[in-house]
Structure 1
Amino acid sequence: MVAITNTTSLTFLKEAIDSTLTEAETRLEAFSDDNALKEELEHCATAFQQLRGICQVVELPAAALMSEEMALAARELLEKVSESRIQALGNAIVLLTRYFDYVQLKNRTLPSLLIGGINELRRAGGKPLIQESHFFSADLSRQRNPEAPDTEVSRDELAALSRRLRHMYQVGLVGILREQNPPTHLKLMARAMARLDKAAGPCGLSRFFWVGQAALMAMAADEMALTPARKALLSQYDRQLKKVVYDGGQALDENAPLLLLKESLYLVSLSAVQDGVIGQVKQVFDLKNAISDTELQRELSLMTGASGSVIRSVASAMRDEIGELKQTLDLASQGVADTNYEAVADSLSQLGSTLSMIGKDDDAAAIKDRSAQVRQWPADQSVETDAFHALVDDLLRVENVAANLERSLAPEDDVHKASNNTAISLYQLDEARMTVVGECRAGLALAKRSISSFMDNNWDAMHLSNLPGTFASIAGGLMFLELQRAKGVTEACHQYIRKQLIEGETAPTRENMETLADALTGVDYYLESMEEQKPIGEGVLEVAEESMKALGYPVDKVA
């Protein structure tokens, strides 16, 4: 069975979803201006509830939960108007809109991105907040391995030691709450937890001590973001240590709350570290999170930061400025006229300011230094000097910064791939790839026309004589695009056409020809989605592979 991804389904529903959220935002603003317009709010509640159903169908659990919270908030506003809740609901509409954009463009769901928005709605309604690990799952029945070593510390001695170790932990916690050198304070807290684990030996809290120190070490090693939820978790750790101090053996024999354990495991799963106690915990609980905390915070910043239109405007302005500079330098290299390098320096300085604004400080410093040098150049500056070539290299680097800025908002498809060659323009590389996509689609269209003529003319193989060369061109293009799976399908099609249609002695059935068309159409649809920058996933390629398997020419699996 072919799996249709949530991204694929979302592509078809995106326009309707955007329209629903835009209308809901307009109606909420109308209600905010005049609280008597309750029918506007009723419409919002209904729209959010319908949106929840759509999110469940396309398997976006975080969006479904947020839509449900939005519907509840809208209904509760009908009974009691609250400005804070209206504001939270408006923020939720904006955030959910951006989340749908993110899922479609980046081809990943990351439910954690909506935790903050969901909690803002719940906080405004006076409800308990959901955990950061709400959408995370782990088998909490598993026991620690290796087991806690036997201790030489008696329970009486442990009472005094636990008090001292809790104080060590609290010193670190105070530093965290004051945001003073978090990594060092986290290491101090981890040491306190590890010491207590060793002193307590096998006991009910043993697993908590083990997982807790792994979470603390992970936060320190990866320099994880210290969000309010994570600071609250560290405070919950302290409450467990407080029980040990005041209740002694009774507290040690109890198990820590499972939610506390789950939240700790979630943090461990976000760590890039694979050895030590972190690695042990990951192995025992089979933690295989596909994203690190650094990536998660970057994606959250991307989704909640400047809107796509603003970023695209900045990138477009940079691209235009660079284009004018390149044209000026091109004229200079041809010796057409003397060049006003002071104006060039001004443009470089402006580019440097733009780079600083978007946080590219190293690139900004380099381009500003270059601006100062260029300002001293005479009008007849030689274009054969190393300094002139260095200026061209700097412009290429800045152009690629702009390209990567636009790529951060572009679909993660097979056109906008990274390049290991930093001496090439990413814009030109993307244009080249898009040209190849067009050529491949043209080749597929020609192949389908040839096959249609073959069928309409009583299976006359003469109409297929041009296909070997056509498929060779398509294969070359797909190889350039690094689309090995699509290339495998077209090669299987080529083999079938050559052996069964051109060299074969018996005429094929109409059903076989339709199956062949299914395979070619699947590859064409995939390439079309690349042209339109609306990823549909590899489900269509799976359909194409199944079609060729049905014809007896299975596609080799890509390693």
Structure 2
Amino acid sequence: MVAITNTTSLTFLKDELDATLSQAESALEVFSEDTSRSGELKVCAEAFHQVRGICQILELPAAALMAEEMELVAEAIGRSVTPERMVGTLGNAIVLLGRYLEYVQLKNAAMPELLVGGINELRRSAGKPLIAESHFFRVDVTRERQPPAAPASTPRTDVTRLCRRMRHMYQVGLLGVLRGESRTSLKLVSRALARIDRLCGDAPMGRLWWVARAAVEALLADEMRLTPARKQLLSQFDRQIKRLVYEGERALESDAPLLLVKESVYLVSLATQDQGLIGEVKRAFSVRPRFTDGALQEELSLMSGAGGSVIRTVATALKEELNDIKSTLDMAAQGAADTDYGDLADTLVRLAGTLVMIGQSREAAQIRGRADQVRQWRNGEVDPEGMDFHALVDDLLMVENAVATLERRFAPADDINREVRNTRISLYQLDEARMTVVGECRAGISLTKRSLTSFIDSQGDRMHLSNVPSVLVGVSGGLMFLELDRARAILEGCRQYIEQSMLTGSGAPVREQMETLADAITSIDYYLESMEEHKPIGDAVLEVAEESLAELGYPVMRAPQPA
């Protein structure tokens, strides 16, 4: 954070700033009610001009820039054919700038990044290009890579061909990021950038992939928020990969775009870690500790507030209430003499009311009717093995599955949590069983990756691979249970390559072949991990794995789709 040394001056001028912004807000309201009174816009522009001057004196660059943009928007409203949108944006900006000035006064510190979003909203409404998230970040972007990159082992003439597949891998991950499937997709993006960085070696463009890798690692390590600006940065990386594909050596020899370098280093500066690649970039660019992304998001929340998912909250509350009801029934089935069936009936009525609120009318009517029956039950007269008792249990299972179905409407669909038509099976319990199998499959894949790493480190000692085929057979069985046939076929191809080319073939595979095999296996791992996180990355990642196997000479034959 940047300390405000003239806090006394800010406190002294704060009342005047508030009064000026209030005057501009009143004038804007008058204009919005009667657009013929264009003179009110001049009052607004003059007020914003005054605020800008004061903020420049107080050395608040973000506030000064925002006031300048507000002045320009106020002047442009009169020339706009549809001024309503610009008036709304300007009104929001007045509120945000007032909150920011109050924040600076209370915290005695300025975070100019807090106003980047507001400034961009003003520029967007005026049809102007947006400023970068790193606009207020200062760093020498001409610094060289430290330590220097090793020369590429791949001939530069092969870079275009190999980057084409790496771009496909990158785009699959990028598409997942843009859809909100963040973590697993980012891992795929990170792997693609690492491969491209090795392919470029010590070429001038390699500096970009070095800082880009660090930026993505920072996003992953701290689980940073993926703002529109950060998604745009990832899209710009894709354009640079495209240059490598189509321009080849000319793109390799070109200098890294300085704006992308700056944006990447800015993200690295927000990371809490100082080790590994992130630490390398921080040291190379002399990045000083400022604040983390977590702190930035907390301060943004203080200024703008935060929301949550009502549906998920209601679903969680319903599950807790269902668990309480089931616990009561379990105790009653075991012969508890103090079961209060009247209280249980009241709970069922409340449950029915909540179901009505979320649109589950059929289930609510069923539970309400069951509550009337339960109210007539008496201790010692209820048979836990009787039809009425079991009917209540079935109704609760129906409600539980209705709540689970409701949750799924607000979560990405995937192949693991597919629809189940047997209403006598608890969806939550079935999902838990499937997730257990997914976890076991991932454990087998992790063991395979460790074995491959040991194989490479030992200069091709095949002993490290002796158990890999049997491990992959077990994983394939799990994928068969999960009905993930495409992923299973890919893993079978990997197993055949290991058995036929690595265990019985003559000579050890070259490093590029090992990397390609790792791409295929890692893609399956990412695919399963996305299922665990309930943010499925989609089948596109499987295409990357299939391309990798095809390059190894083991193309995957897809099963014909049912008509």
Letter of the structure 1 residue corresponding to residue 66 of structure 2: M
Cα distance in 1 for partners of 2:291, 2:306 equals: 23
CA deviation after TM superposition for structure 1 residue 187, in Å: 2.1
Is the alpha carbon distance of 1:276 and 1:4 closer, same or farther for their aligned partners in structure 2, counting shifts above 3 Å? closer
Q: How does 1:331-410 map to 2 (within 5 A)?
A: none
Residue in 2 that maps onto 1:42: 42
Residue in 1 that maps onto 2:62: 62
Cα distance in 2 for partners of 1:304, 1:69 equals: 20
Q: How does 1:96-107 map to 2 (within 5 A)?
A: 96-107=97-108
Residue in 2 that maps onto 1:353: none
Tell me the TM-score normalized by structure 1: 0.53
Residue in 2 that maps onto 1:205: 205
Aligned residues: 304
Whether 1:178 and 2:175 are equivalent positions in the alignment is no
Cα distance in 2 for partners of 1:76, 1:124 equals: 10
Is the alpha carbon distance of 1:306 and 1:40 closer, same or farther for their aligned partners in structure 2, counting shifts above 3 Å? farther
The answer (yes or no) to whether the contact 1:6–1:60 under 8 Å persists in 2 is no
Residue in 2 that maps onto 1:256: 256
Whether 1:265 and 2:265 are equivalent positions in the alignment is yes
Residue in 1 that maps onto 2:189: 189
Residue in 2 that maps onto 1:21: 21
Whether 1:146 and 2:147 are equivalent positions in the alignment is yes
Letter of the structure 1 residue corresponding to residue 166 of structure 2: L
Three-state SS of the structure 2 residue aligned to 1:163 is helix
The answer (yes or no) to whether the contact 1:184–1:220 under 8 Å persists in 2 is no
The answer (yes or no) to whether the contact 1:273–1:279 under 8 Å persists in 2 is yes
Letter of the structure 2 residue corresponding to residue 200 of structure 1: C
Cα distance in 2 for partners of 1:179, 1:289 equals: 29
Is the alpha carbon distance of 1:268 and 1:85 closer, same or farther for their aligned partners in structure 2, counting shifts above 3 Å? same
CA deviation after TM superposition for structure 1 residue 4, in Å: 7.0
CA deviation after TM superposition for structure 1 residue 277, in Å: 0.7
Whether 1:296 and 2:264 are equivalent positions in the alignment is no
Cα distance in 1 for partners of 2:207, 2:306 equals: 43
Q: How does 1:498-513 map to 2 (within 5 A)?
A: none
Residue in 2 that maps onto 1:416: none
Cα distance in 1 for partners of 2:219, 2:131 equals: 21
The answer (yes or no) to whether the contact 1:144–1:284 under 8 Å persists in 2 is yes
Residue in 2 that maps onto 1:529: none
Is the alpha carbon distance of 1:102 and 1:216 closer, same or farther for their aligned partners in structure 2, counting shifts above 3 Å? same
Cα distance in 1 for partners of 2:231, 2:285 equals: 24
Whether 1:232 and 2:238 are equivalent positions in the alignment is no
Which blocks of at least 5 consecutive residues in structure 2 are unaligned? Answer: 308-563
Three-state SS of the structure 1 residue aligned to 2:134 is coil
Deviations 1:412-466 (A, max 9, x none): xxxxxxxxxxxxxxxxxxxxxxxxxxxxxxxxxxxxxxxxxxxxxxxxxxxxxxx
Give 4+ residue runs of structure 1 displaced > 4 Å after superposition.
none
Residue in 1 that maps onto 2:86: 85
The answer (yes or no) to whether the contact 1:183–1:221 under 8 Å persists in 2 is no
Deviations 1:227-260 (A, max 9, x none): 1111011000000001101111111111122111
The answer (yes or no) to whether the contact 2:146–2:280 under 8 Å persists in 1 is yes
CA deviation after TM superposition for structure 1 residue 9, in Å: 2.0
Whether 1:280 and 2:280 are equivalent positions in the alignment is yes
Cα distance in 1 for partners of 2:306, 2:157 equals: 58
Residue in 1 that maps onto 2:247: 247
Three-state SS of the structure 1 residue aligned to 2:109 is coil
The answer (yes or no) to whether the contact 1:49–1:67 under 8 Å persists in 2 is yes
Three-state SS of the structure 2 residue aligned to 1:179 is coil
Deviations 1:310-336 (A, max 9, x none): xxxxxxxxxxxxxxxxxxxxxxxxxxx
The answer (yes or no) to whether the contact 1:214–1:281 under 8 Å persists in 2 is yes
Q: How does 1:423-502 map to 2 (within 5 A)?
A: none
The answer (yes or no) to whether the contact 2:4–2:110 under 8 Å persists in 1 is no
Residue in 1 that maps onto 2:420: none
Cα distance in 2 for partners of 1:7, 1:171 equals: 50
Cα distance in 2 for partners of 1:31, 1:244 equals: 53
The answer (yes or no) to whether the contact 1:6–1:59 under 8 Å persists in 2 is no
Three-state SS of the structure 2 residue aligned to 1:79 is coil
Is the alpha carbon distance of 1:302 and 1:260 closer, same or farther for their aligned partners in structure 2, counting shifts above 3 Å? same
Residue in 2 that maps onto 1:222: 222
Cα distance in 2 for partners of 1:169, 1:306 equals: 32
How much identity, in percent, do the aligned residues show?
57
CA deviation after TM superposition for structure 1 residue 90, in Å: 0.5
The answer (yes or no) to whether the contact 2:63–2:115 under 8 Å persists in 1 is yes
Cα distance in 2 for partners of 1:203, 1:91 equals: 47
Letter of the structure 2 residue corresponding to residue 45 of structure 1: A
Cα distance in 2 for partners of 1:61, 1:118 equals: 12
Cα distance in 1 for partners of 2:38, 2:64 equals: 24
Q: How does 1:125-136 map to 2 (within 5 A)?
A: 125-136=126-137
CA deviation after TM superposition for structure 1 residue 6, in Å: 4.1
Cα distance in 2 for partners of 1:306, 1:245 equals: 42
Cα distance in 2 for partners of 1:51, 1:62 equals: 12
Letter of the structure 1 residue corresponding to residue 133 of structure 2: E
Tell me the TM-score normalized by structure 2: 0.53
